[in-house]
Amino acid sequence: MNILSLFPAIPAAMMLGLWLSRNIRQIHAVMVTGSSLLLAFAIYLVFAYLGMRADGQTAEMLLTDSHIWYAPLNIHYAVGVDGISVAMLLLSAIIVFTGTFASWKMTDGTKEFFLWFCLLSVGVFGFFISLDLFTMFMFYEVALIPMYLLIGVWGTGRKEYSAMKLTLMLMGGSALILIGILGIYFGSGATTMNIMEIAQLHNIPLSMQRIWFPIVFIGFGVLGALFPFHTWSPDGHASAPTAVSMLHAGVLMKLGGYGCFRIAIYLLPDAAQELSWIFIILTTISVVYGAFSACVQTDLKYINAYSSVSHCGLVLFAILMLNTTAATGAVLQMLSHGLMTALFFALIGMIYGRTHTRDIRELSGLMKIMPFLSVCYVIAGLANLGLPGLSGFVAEMTIFNGAFMVHDTFHRVVTIIACTSIVITAVYILRLIGKILYGTCTNPEHLKLTDATWDERLAVIVLIVAIAGLGLSPLWMSGMISDSIVPIVSHILN
Amino acid sequence: MEYTILILLLPFLSFILIGLLGTRLKPAAAGAFGTIVTGIVAILSYWTAFSYFGAGRDASGVFPTLIPWNTVWLPFNGSLHIDLGILLDPISVMMLIVISTVSLMVHIYSFGYMKGERGFQRYYAFLSLFTMSMLGLVLATNIFQMYIFWELVGVSSYLLIGFYYTKKEAIAASKKAFIVTRFADLGFLIGILIYGFYTGTFSFTPDAPALGAAKALLPLALGLMFIGGAGKSAMFPLHIWLPDAMEGPTPVSALIHAATMVVAGVYLVARMFPLFIGYAPEVLHVTAYVGAFTALYAAVVACVQSDIKRVLAFSTISQIGFMIVALGVCTSADPHEGGLGYMASMFHLFTHAMFKALLFLGAGCIIHAVHSNEMSAMGGLRKYMPVTHITFLVACLAIAGIWPLSGFFSKDEILAACFDFSPVMGWVMTFIAGLTAFYMFRLYWCIFWGKENTELHAEHRPHEAPLTMTIPLIFLAVVTLFAGWIPFGEFISSNGQAYHIHIDWNVATVSLCVAAAGIALATWMYMREDRKVADGLATKFSGLHKAAYHRFYIDEIYQFITHRIIFACISTPVAWFDRHVVDGFFNMLATVTGKVSWGIRRMQSGYVQRYGIWFLGGALGLTVILLLI
Amino acid sequence: MIQMEYYLIVSTIMMFAGIYGFFTRRNLLAMLISVELILNSVDINFVVFNRFLFPGQLEGFFFSLFAIGISAAETAVAIAIIINIYRNMRNIQVKNLDKMKW
């Protein structure tokens, strides 16, 4: 058995453990053990991967393995990782780990909640290790469905509406993906479902690529919050429970970007070059539009959701630039945004758990009441607006530099438009910080609130360390990613 | 010179340590730790300067540029990468001295000034962060490193302006400072992108073929970079954040918003000077006009402000205008042939940092004594605070440009450079120098002489500041007294060659006369207790006075743009559009699907007999069709 | 000899009588009887076609035997259901049976 299979296997084992658990202590024990194992394993994988590269293993995918499980359609359980997937696995493991601690205080239906949470993780991890179109799609679906129940049952506010909307829109996206996958499979001669092999064949006629590219790109773009298919995101995130928001914005939205890159662009490169301009316009709109929308929201989660639209827009924007630097930036941005937004949602959840409101007009002066959470909130905000030394800066600068390397007027103009988002981001982040953290507390009820407990501190600190680590020494991560992107981009360009 | 890395690392460690330990550290311990670290940094800086200039010039007669440290921090592609490192050349070494000196003085001074404040540890942590970032900025080996630290100083400034985070004005001011400079940084960033792309490097000195290739776009890139510089250095119309930034603690204003961070724009232009002169002299001259206009505008506004720190803030803006003008009027890299301004600008940067820090720290003592920023609460303070009085007077004389104080020498060089460029520019700048003398002495007379606010002073008697606060004052006053005699041109000049400063006595006489006239006018108007003339003028030209007092309504224009245009005309409609049009479309899809389902649902009545009829009808219909075919 | 058409006429009448009854009756038992009529008319058809068109073969006879058997089973099940419905609801009128509808 391939060691990568442990990634979906551990959450599956956790589900079994949860099923057998009888009380909250056992549930917590299972979750902590499992998620720590995942995190440790992900970290180990990073080092193992770097070690294998250092040993001179130059294959595009390492640790590959393949077992057939449905011969008529050549569907394999094929796994393998390159730098991009290793980075994404690390991100997912961190978020699952911190998400566990962020939902430590959950009381109703804890067992079921964590069961679905683990199933979601199975899907996420499976997606990132898969190399087979159909297996990948299957894990994608596994990751989506639990979301409906997690939001619909454990959410807040208009949870049924949001859950329904989110699931339906994402299902619409996955219907497109399925069509696109079949199109790619039959377009390439119906001999293999393996991504790497299809890419090697490189035989899908341009006229077919023109049809499948937009379909697959939009299909994944829905999950990547591509304008105008992003509207599930504000409602969905606002209603979801903390850990689910974290996992969803932190990891699931990255599935979109990853899929766009791995499937839409990698397998349909000619159409990607031809049609990228349409999507570049859409993503530019996402970037600026999300930022402007965030400026006037009053719900903490809505602000962050729109901010995610803006930042994830930047991911797709960078992918579409079709060069190594921008694509490296895109992956860095996925990492950085995943960590940042998870931190944000964790903190919002903790603040909401205390104040029972997310309306920024009702919150003020939290800095004095809960200094730890507030300081972390400021750090998250600063990371979000791209402060050097934190991860956001690294990612954004790589993207802007990469985008600027495409030298025609159109790309230049959209790059400059996208750059303006860093100013608008500063506007809404500082407005938020000024309103809720600074000032004097006006609500006497809030004066009695307490600061973070150990489990919350642990979750927040892990995320901050990751953000600062990526921001302070980006070299190894950026190097690992760009090494894997070079062959992909060179494949796309010829 | 590898030890220079400590200059960056020590304050960073101090920031991390004080920041992480937070309130677990005793305030005094945090302060002492920060101060000691800054002290070590200052000693290291002096040692660096000593050994750098002591090592002498190389064969071509310039001080060699040293890069003791440089590592790749983030690669973009083959040739483009962000490096972090340390670059030593005359101007960076000069800035090292300025920053570490002022920072050390502010650290010491803050012991007295911030005593007993809540968040003392946080304050020192932020000071360390700022010191680190500012040092990193000036030691940058490439433009992108500069941008990184540029953002970091911006954020330290944001944090320190908003230090009193429960105060509404402080929050607004910090937000404004950050957003305005961020907006300007957008220009800087785009400038860097253009520069990096066309020259293929972020380094300050691209090789000749790269420059040749980039020739057409260099002026644009440099112009955009200047926008970033204009934002940090508060050039019109991006100056609006600086007066508000005075909401921060006064020592912070002295360090960040007077002596170091606000001159980053000047430093940037000086850093890019060879490129400006070689490839974009027109852009350089544009900066001169911007600088001159800013200097004039700020000087006029400074004449009527009533808040002591705001007067000083506008005076800072005006003086930075002088430095930018001095750089902008250069027409060649040779100091003898029109490149004098470069040296003058750096000289003024140096002297101004000292006396403006002195002024702010003095103002801090005064505010500490009377617990108010308003000049109306002051008056007649000379008898209560002798040390502050004398040092403040020294600084006022220096900024007015009176011989033999340091300001005279640097300002004289600037004026000489301006006259070289064009007589109009020279006269305009001389006039502004006169205005400077006028408003500074207006301030001086109003604070230390004039009518005493006896009611307020009876309540709590003003007193001289403690020793921790007066020692930095005395130190800076001594520097101000003698800094003018430093043979500055020997160290720094536009082409690196030694330049022997000689005072142009024609210009000097004129400027001295103008300064004296300004001082005399201020004395006549404000020294006496009743201030008949000043009040008379204010009522006579009440429109102008009011406009100037409100800083010519530039803030209101910005307010209008941000709130009425960006928030009301862009963000709100965009948010509405998102909720109602985009989201509405998907909701409509759902609604339509639902409606249609309800419509066809009526056919599924559940009555078997009705289905039977449909079935029969269908069967018959098919039969008929088949028969017809 | 009686011609094939006569048998067919009888079975057609039975068939349409059954259909008419199935559509118009509102009582489950009556509907069940109507369904039986339809089935039996089909059985007749099978037998008749076998007898007249393929005299040497037996498939039609066998098929109708099977059909009779199955219809008997079906009737048994249907009546069991109807009895259960009647026990639960005291009613076997079709229009009243909407308890399990949506």
pLDDT number for residue A1: 58
**How far apart are the two ends of chain C, measured CA to CA in Å?**
56
Q: Examine residue C11 and state whether it is found in any structural domain, yes or no.
A: yes
Contact yes or no for C22 and B609 at CB 8 A: yes
Are B65 and B89 a contacting pair, CB within 8 Å? yes
Of C94, C98, C101, the CB nearest to B609: C94
C81 to chain B, minimum CA–CA distance in Å?
Answer: 15
For residues A309 and A339, the answer to whether their CB atoms sit within 8 Å is: no
Which residue range is the domain that position C26 belongs to?
4-90
Asked if residue B618 has pLDDT above 70, the reply is yes
CB contact under 8 A, B607 and C94: yes
Which stretch of A278-282, B68-72, C40-44 has the lowest confidence by average pLDDT?
Answer: B68-72
Query: Could you give the angle at the alpha carbon of A262 between the alpha carbons of A486 and A185, nearest 5°?
Result: 125
> pLDDT grade, residue A354 (50/70/90)?
confident
Chain B residues close to C98, C-beta within 8 Å: 606
- Residue C55 inside a domain? The answer is yes
C94, C96, C99: best to mutate for the B interface, most B CBs within 10 A? C94
Touch between chain A and chain C (3+ CB pairs, < 8 Å)? Answer: no
Do B149 and A295 make contact, defined as CB atoms within 8 angstroms? no
Cβ proximity of A296 and B567 under 8 Å: yes
Span A341-352, mean pLDDT?
Answer: 90
Whether C77 is covered by a domain: the verdict is: yes
Of C23, C94, C95, the CB nearest to B613: C23
For residue A16, give how far its alpha carbon lies from the nearest alpha carbon of chain B (Å). Answer: 37
Residue A289 identity (one-letter amino acid): Y
Contacts of C18 in chain B (CB under 8 A): none
With contacts defined as CB-CB under 8 Å, which chain B residues touch A405?
A: 77, 197
Q: Which residues of C touch B609 (CB under 8 A)?
A: 22-24, 31, 94
Chain A from 149 to 178: CB within 8 A of any B CB: 165, 168-169
Residue scoring higher pLDDT (A238 or B504): A238
Q: What sign for the dihedral angle of Cα A167, A168, A169, A174?
A: positive
| DSSP state at residue B465 | P
Distance CA A271, CA A265 (A): 8
Task: Name the residue among A127, A129, A162 with its Cα closest to residue A147.
Answer: A162
Q: What digits encode the pLDDT tens for the residues B308-348?
A: 888 889 999 999 998 999 888 888 877 777 778 888 888 88
Please give the pLDDT value at position A361. 85
Asked if residue A210 has pLDDT above 70, the reply is yes
B597 interface with C at CB cutoff 8 Å: no
- Note whether B337 and B81 are within 8 A (CB): no
Question: Which residue of A231, A402, A419 is in closest CB contact with B583?
Answer: A231
C99 assigned to some structural domain: no
Q: Say if residues A181 and A134 touch (Cβ distance below 8 Å).
A: yes
Mutate to test the interface with A, among B76, B176, B179 (most CBs of A within 10 A): B76
Alpha-carbon torsion, ordered A381, A382, A386, A387, to 10 deg: -170
- pLDDT computed for residue A138 by the predictor: 92
Helix (H, G, I), strand (E, B) or coil at B179: helix
Percent of chain B with pLDDT over 90: 12
Residue C75 lies in a domain: yes
Q: For residue B13, give the 3-state DSSP assignment.
A: helix
Distances (CA, A) of C73 to B109, B624, C77: 104, 34, 6
d(CA A219, CA A163): 19
Q: Is residue C19 part of a domain?
A: yes
pLDDT of B530: 67
For A206, half-sphere exposure in the C-beta direction (CA atoms, 13 angstrom radius) is: 6
Mean pLDDT value across residues B92-115: 89
Pairwise CB contact (< 8 Å): C22 & B607: no
B543 reaches C (C-beta below 8 A): no
How confident is the model over A327-334, as a mean pLDDT? 92
Contacts of C19 in chain B (CB under 8 A): 612, 616
Looking at chain B, how many residues does it have? 629
DSSP state of B551: G
d(CA A257, CA A74): 26
Looking at the partner chain, which of B607, B608, B616 has a beta carbon nearest the beta carbon of C19? B616
C-alpha dihedral over A20, A23, A27, A29, to 10 degrees? -110
Angle between helix B532-540 and B505-526 (nearest 10): 90
Distance from CA of C2 to the nearest CA of B (A): 29
Q: Which token pair is A355?
A: 């104040």
B612 has a chain C CB within 8 A of its CB: yes
Cα distance between residue A183 and residue A187, in whole Å? 6
Residue of B nearest to C102 (CA): B606
Total domains in chain C come to: 1
Query: Predicted confidence band at B483 (pLDDT cuts at 50, 70, 90)?
Result: confident
Query: Which one of A335-344, B57-66, B385-394, B607-616 scores highest in mean pLDDT?
Result: A335-344
Question: For residue range A213-239, what is the model confidence (pLDDT) as tens digits?
Answer: 999 999 999 988 888 888 888 888 888
Write the CATH number for C59. Answer: 1.10.287.3510
Q: B 118-157 residues with CB below 8 A of A?
A: 144, 147-149, 151-152, 155
**What would the DSSP string read from start to end of B400-435?**
HT-TTSHHHHHHHHHHHHHHHH-HHHHHHHHHHHHH
What pLDDT is recorded for position A140? 92
pLDDT, tens digit (0-9, with 9 covering 90-100), for B390-432: 888 888 888 888 877 888 888 888 888 888 888 888 888 888 9
Q: Do chains C and B touch (3 or more CB pairs under 8 A)?
A: yes
Taking contacts as CB-CB distances below 8 angstroms, the residues of chain B near C31 are 608-609
Give the mutation candidate from B178, B574, B579, B581 for the A interface (greatest A CB count, under 10 A).
Answer: B574
Q: For chain A, how far is it from start to end, CA to CA, in angstroms?
A: 36
**Residue B595, min C-alpha distance to chain C (Å):** 17
- The ipTM value here is 0.91
**Tokens 């039975």 sit at which residue?**
C14
CB of B83 closer than 8 Å to CB of B141:
yes
Instruction: Give whichever of B83-97, B438-452, B492-506 has the largest mean pLDDT.
Output: B83-97
Query: Could you tell me the sign of the dihedral formed by the alpha carbons of A295, A300, A303, A307, in that order?
Result: positive
What pLDDT band is residue C102 in, cutting at 50, 70 and 90? Answer: low
Average pLDDT score over residue span C47-73: 90
Asked if the C-beta of B616 comes within 8 angstroms of chain C's C-beta atoms, the answer is: yes
Interstrand relation of B66-75 and A75-81 (parallel, antiparallel or unpaired)? unpaired
- The alpha carbon of A29 is separated from its chain's Cα centroid by a whole number of angstroms, namely 26
User: How far is residue B537's CA from residue B539's CA, in Å, rounded to a whole number?
Assistant: 5
Chain A window 33-92: which residues touch B at a Cβ cutoff of 8 Å?
Answer: none
Question: What whole-number distance in Å separates Cα of residue A137 and Cα of residue B194?
Answer: 41
Do the beta carbons of residue B120 and residue B55 sit within 8 Å? no
Chain A CB contacts of B178 below 8 Å:
426, 430
- Given this model, what pLDDT does residue B331 score? 84
Chains touching A (at least 3 CB pairs under 8 A) are: B
Dihedral over alpha carbons A19, A24, A28, A31 (to 10 degrees)? 20
Measured between CA atoms, the residue of chain B closest to residue A477 is B74
pLDDT at A152 over 70: yes
pLDDT value of position A315: 92
**Residue B521 to residue B514: CA distance in whole angstroms:** 10
Please say if the pLDDT value at position C101 is more than 70.
no
Q: Does the residue C48 lie in any domain?
A: yes
Instruction: Kindly give the residue spans of alpha helices, DSSP state H, lying in A188-299.
Output: 195-201, 206-223, 232-239, 242-247, 253-259, 266-267, 269-295
What average pLDDT score do residues A388-396 get? Answer: 89
Asked whether residue B531 carries a pLDDT value surpassing 80, the answer given is no
CA–CA–CA angle B7, B9, B15 (5° rounding)? 110
Q: Do B189 and A422 touch (CB under 8 A)?
A: yes
If pLDDT is split at 50, 70 and 90, which confidence band does A358 have? confident
Q: Which of A108-112, A321-325, A333-337, B68-72 has the highest mean pLDDT?
A: A333-337
**What is the DSSP secondary-structure string of A159-181?**
HHHHHHHHHHHHHHHHHHHHHHH
The answer to the question of residue C101 being in a domain is no
Beta-carbon separation of C94 and B608 below 8 A:
yes
Partners of C82 on chain B (C-beta within 8 Å) are none
Q: Which tokens hold the place of B19?
A: 């920041």
In chain A, the percentage of residues whose pLDDT exceeds 70 is: 100
pTM over 0.80: yes
Chains A and B touch (3+ CB pairs under 8 A): yes
Whole-angstrom Cα Rg for chain B: 31
Tens of pLDDT, residue by residue over B120-172, are 888 889 999 999 999 999 999 989 999 999 999 999 999 988 888 888 888 88
Rounded to 5 degrees, φ, ψ at B455 are -55, -55
User: Which chain C residues touch B608 with a CB distance below 8 Å?
Assistant: 31, 94
Residue in chain A closest to B23 (alpha carbons) equals: A371
Residues 6+ apart with CB under 8 A from A466: A94, A339, A391
Three-state SS at B60 = coil
CB contact under 8 A, C22 and B612: yes
pLDDT band at residue B529 under the 50/70/90 scheme: low
Give C14's pLDDT tier (boundaries 50, 70, 90): very high
Q: How many residues make up chain A in this entry?
A: 494
pLDDT digits (tens, 9 = 90+) for B209-240: 878 777 888 888 899 999 998 988 888 888 88
Model confidence at A406, pLDDT cuts 50, 70, 90, reads confident
First to last CA, chain B: 100
For B72, nearest residue in chain A (alpha carbons):
A475
User: Please, which residues bridge with residue B66 across strands?
Assistant: B88
Task: Tell me which chain B residues have a C-beta less than 8 angstroms from the C-beta of C94.
Answer: 607-609
